[in-house]
Structure 1
Amino acid sequence: MALSRLIARPLLASYFLANGVQDLKEAPALAQQAAPVTEQVVPVVDGATPDSVNVPRDPVLWVRASGVIQVVAGFGLATGRLPHLSSAVLGATLVPSTAARHRFWEATDKDERREQLTHFLKNTALAGGLLIAALDTAGKPGLAWRTRHAGHDARREAALLGAKAKAKAHLH
């Protein structure tokens, strides 16, 4: 593994490990911030799941679930275990977390608005880092490249085999 990945992954994960622990410790207080977001998310999740699945409505539970997910996925990213999946999961938790905690558009005080905007943009930058980590192929061709080139490689190989067979038939 490249030294840059060895260092960058734990650095990127550190925010989510700390944030996840904070979510777990301060869930009731953070649930007040999360409530407007969970009120919008719950009906969407409820509509996307079978009727037999009971989607919780308690914002405290959603904050705790987010905390657990961030700690587990943060650990996965930091240690390089399933780093692509971990990065994608962390990115998915970042969207509702940012919408709940950093609602700069609602701030009326100029300093508070600037502070919330700074945190919002920091989370946007983290999302960019997670996107890079999720798609990182360590310099090897990714699945899309391999798929595009598989057909070309198969046709070239078939042509070579055909030419060899033709040459062999002419020798006999």
Structure 2
Amino acid sequence: MNLVRRCARPMLAAVFVTGGVDALRHPGKRTEMAAPLVSKVADLTGLPEDPELMVRANGATMALAGLMLATGRMPRVASTLLAASLIPTTVVGHPFWSEQDPQARKAHQIQFSKNLSLLGGVLLAAVDTAGKPGLTWRARNAAHAARREARLATANAKLALS
């Protein structure tokens, strides 16, 4: 792992670890804000309609995935989990579009933009292969090698028959 990744991953992960632990320990206000979304999601998916449980689960996901990213353990999986947990957190936590007070609206817009930036960071981390071939390249290369081997086998079989 190069120096940039070794430094950048823990820096990016820090906000998720601290925010996740805080959500686990003190779900309070987040529970009230999440209740409408949790109700909609519960109806669609069959998940429990318990906002406090969902806030704590989201917090646990952020904390654990943040630790995984910070330590370099399955960083692409960790980043994907962070992206998935950040989306509902941002939508529920910073609904600037429904805020009437100009000051509160501006504060929510800033936090929404910050979370959008974090989302961009974890998405970049999710596709970072650290210089190694990704799964897509490996699959294409394996298919190409299989086609080449099949052509060679066919040519060898034709030569053997003639």
Q: TM-score, normalised by structure 1?
A: 0.83
Counterpart of 1:133, as a letter, is A
Aligned to 2:30: 30
Tell me, in whole angstroms, the C-alpha distance in 1 between the residues paired with 2:87 and 2:19: 14
Aligned to 2:21: 21
> Which structure's CA Rg is the greater one?
1
- C-alpha displacement of 1:90: 1.0
| Percent identity over paired residues | 47
Tell me, in whole angstroms, the C-alpha distance in 1 between the residues paired with 2:155 and 2:61: 56
Q: CA RMSD in A?
A: 2.2
Residue 74 (structure 1) aligned with residue 66 (structure 2): yes
Preserved CA contact (<8 Å) 1:37 1:99? no
Aligned to 1:149: 141
Q: Which runs of 4+ in 1 moved over 2 A?
A: 149-167
2:51 corresponds to which of 39, 48, 59: 59
Preserved CA contact (<8 Å) 1:87 1:133? yes
Moved more, 156-165 or 126-135: 156-165
Change (3 A) 1:166 1:56: closer
Aligned to 1:121: 113
Preserved CA contact (<8 Å) 1:73 1:86? yes
Tell me, in whole angstroms, the C-alpha distance in 1 between the residues paired with 2:88 and 2:150: 51
Count of residue correspondences: 162
Tell me, in whole angstroms, the C-alpha distance in 1 between the residues paired with 2:115 and 2:66: 15
Q: TM-score, normalised by structure 2?
A: 0.87
- C-alpha displacement of 1:56: 2.1
Name structure 2 gaps, 5 residues minimum: none
After superposition, the C-alpha distances for 1:61-110 in whole angstroms (9 at most, x for unaligned) are 11111111111111111111111111111111111111111001011112
Preserved CA contact (<8 Å) 1:90 1:130? yes
Name structure 1 gaps, 5 residues minimum: 47-54, 168-172
